[in-house]
Chain A
Amino acid sequence: MSFTLHDYVLSGNCYKVRLLAQILGVAYTVKPVDFHPGKAHKTPEFLALNPHGTLPVLESDNTLLTDSSAMLVWIAQQFDTTHTWWPTNDAHRLALTVQWLGFSAKLTESIGQLRLHTMLNRPADAATLNTLSTENLRELENHLCEQSIRGLAFLTGDQPTVADIACFAYSALSPDAGIEHTLYPAIRGWLHRIRCLEGFLTMPGIYEAHETRNEHTAAS
C-alpha cells in the first residue's frame, strides 16, 4: 500500500523514511511542508493532522503515523520480503532493534536540536545540547566498537535493520551541528557501510559515496 509523506527536505526524521523507502524501492508521494521559514507545521491546519506539530507525518488509506520509527517499522513490515530490516523471526535481534530505535530518539533530541540551532538559528541551550550530543555519540561509538570486535558490521548484527536507518540520520548529520566525526572511528566506518548500501539516498550534509563510481582514467 502506498503512502503520502508530509516532508521537510532538511529534516533528519523525514530523511529516515525517504531512505528506507528508497532502499526497499517503495514509491510514495511527497508533500513538502514549509517548516522553515514558514513554520507551517505549527499552523492550525497542520496541527489538525498532527497535534504534536512535528514532521514527518505518514498517511495512507488506513494509517496515520507521526513518529519516524513507527513509519520505518510500518514500511519494513509491508515491503521487505527478506524480513531482515524488521527481523520478526529472530527474537534477539528484534528486541535489539527496538532498543536502538529507542536510542535514535535521543539522537533527535540532542544532535537534531543542536543542528536546528546551529543551522537555522533556532533558540536553544547550545552548551547543554552539545554535552548531550557527545554523550550519545560516545554511547553509539562504544557499542559499534564492540560490534566490530565481534566482527559485526551493524547495530544489531551482520545486516542492517530499521534501527541502523533510525540512528544513521542524526549521526551522519552531526557535522551540520558542528560535531565532526573525527573522534568517532567506529561510527565513521558504520556510516560508510550504510552509505554504500544498494539504493542509498543522499540529503544535504550526507553526500553520495562518489568513491563507488568508476575510477577516472587520467586525461594525459
Chain B
Amino acid sequence: MNAALEHALQDWYPIAMLGELAPGERKQSRVLGIDVTVLANDSADETDSTPPITVRAEGAPVHVQQAFDHWWVCLGNAPKPLFSIEEAGEADRRFVPCGVVRVACSPLRAVENFLDIAHFPFVHTGVLGAEPHTEVYKYDVKVDETRDEVIATNIKFYQPQAAKSAEGGIQTEYIYRVPAPMAAVLYKTCPLKPEAMDVIALFVQPLDEQTCDVWPWMALYDDTSTQAELIQFQQLIFLQDRSILENQLPKKLPIDPGHEIPTKADYTSVAYRRWLKKRGAYYGALEAQP
C-alpha cells in the first residue's frame, strides 16, 4: 500500500448525516477508493447494544463515531482523534447540516478553495463579493503547534450579502482553520449578533484522489430564517464553487511550489500546502510522496 493512502486511512471522514438512513436502510459509498456499505441498524429496544449504524469496508466493520450532525468513519487501524469544533456544544446556535454534493475534483482542491477569499467577487458575485471591492488586505497565517492546525486570522472582506440574515453590504471578518487535511472550518461576522461569529465547515469525504463528496455544515446565530432558507443559501454558494473545482488543472493539487503562482492573497493556501507536505498528507496531491 502506498504511503499517501496509509496516511489518509488514519483520518476520519463523513459518510452520512445523522438520520439520513431509516432503520434497516443501507447505502453504498466509497472512501479513499475503497467500497463501503453503510447500514442503519434496527435497534429493537433501548437496552439493545447494537450501534445505530454499521459501516463495512470489504466486508469488515470499520471505526464509526458521530459528530457535528454526521456519522464519521475511519478505515485505518490506528485512528487519529477527530478534531473538535467547540461551537458545536453551544446550545443557542442553529446547527445546519446542508446535505452532500459530489464534485469531480481532488479533496484537497475542495478544501483549498474553501480557504480562498480572492474569488468571491468573481464566483459569488453579488453575494460574497462584487467588483470593484476585490482587494485582499494583509492577514495573518500560522500553524498552531499545539493543535497542529493551519490558522488564518485578521481577514476582512467587503460582502454585498454575507449571510442569509444580512441586510445589505457589510465589511466581514473571517478566521479560517484547517484541523485535518480534508476539513476546513471558518468563523465569520454574524450579521444578527455582531459580538459572535457564525461557524461554517466543509467536511470532505474522499471517494478517490479526484472525486469527493462534500458535506457542508453550519452552526449559526439566526432565529429568523427557516432551515430550508439556510441550507439553500449555503448550497447556492457551494454549487458556484463546484463549477470552478471541476475545471482546475491538473486535477490533483500541486503541493510543491513551482507549478502554480501564488500571491500574498494566497498565504493560507501556501501554508496549507506546506502543512500537508510536512505531515505527509499526499492523498489527492500531484506529487508522489518523496
Contact = CB atoms under 8 A, between A and B. Distances in A.
A, B co-complexed: yes
A178 interface: yes
A75 to B, nearest CB: 22
Contacts of B229: 32
Nearest to B240: A204
A204 B100 contact: no
Contacts of B172: none
Contacts of B131: 213
Contacts of B65: none
Nearest to A8: B232
A38 B228 contact: yes
A120 B242 CA distance: 12
Interface string B72-101: 000000000000000000000000011111
Range for the number of chain A residues in contact with chain B:
20 to 34
A132 B125 CA distance: 33
Contact of B242 (A34, A121, A176): A176
Contacts of B288: none
B99 A40 contact: no
Given A121-B213, A176-B242, A210-B122, A204 B102 contact: no
Contacts of A34: 227-228, 231-232
Most central of A10, A32, A119, A121 by chain B CB within 10 Å: A32
Classify the interface of chain A: helix, strand, loop or mixed: loop
A204 B228 contact: no
30 contacts: A8-B232, A9-B233, A9-B236, A10-B232, A10-B235, A32-B228, A34-B231, A36-B235, A37-B17, A37-B99, A38-B231, A119-B102, A119-B239, A119-B242, A120-B100, A121-B102, A175-B243, A176-B239, A176-B243, A202-B125, A203-B236, A204-B235, A204-B236, A204-B239, A204-B242, A207-B243, A208-B125, A210-B122, A210-B125, A213-B131
Nearest to A205: B243
Interface in A11-56: 32-34, 36-38, 40
Contacts of B2: none
B122 A33 contact: no
B104 A37 contact: no
Given A32-B228, A175-B243, A37 B100 contact: yes
Interface string B233-273: 10110111011001000000000000000000000000000
A10 B125 CA distance: 17
Contacts, number: 70
Nearest to B164: A32
Contacts of B98: 37
Contacts of A210: 122, 125
Nearest to B243: A205
Interface of A: 8-10, 32-34, 36-38, 40, 118-121, 175-176, 178, 202-205, 207-208, 210, 213
Interface of B: 17, 20, 97-102, 104, 122, 125-126, 131, 213, 226-229, 231-233, 235-236, 238-240, 242-243, 246
Contacts of B125: 202, 207-208, 210
Most central of A33, A121, A176, A178 by chain B CB within 10 Å: A121
Given A37-B20, A121-B102, A32 B232 contact: yes
Contacts of A119: 101-102, 239, 242
Nearest to A34: B228
A218 to B, nearest CB: 14
Contacts of A37: 17, 20, 97-100, 231
Contact of B243 (A33, A40, A204): A204
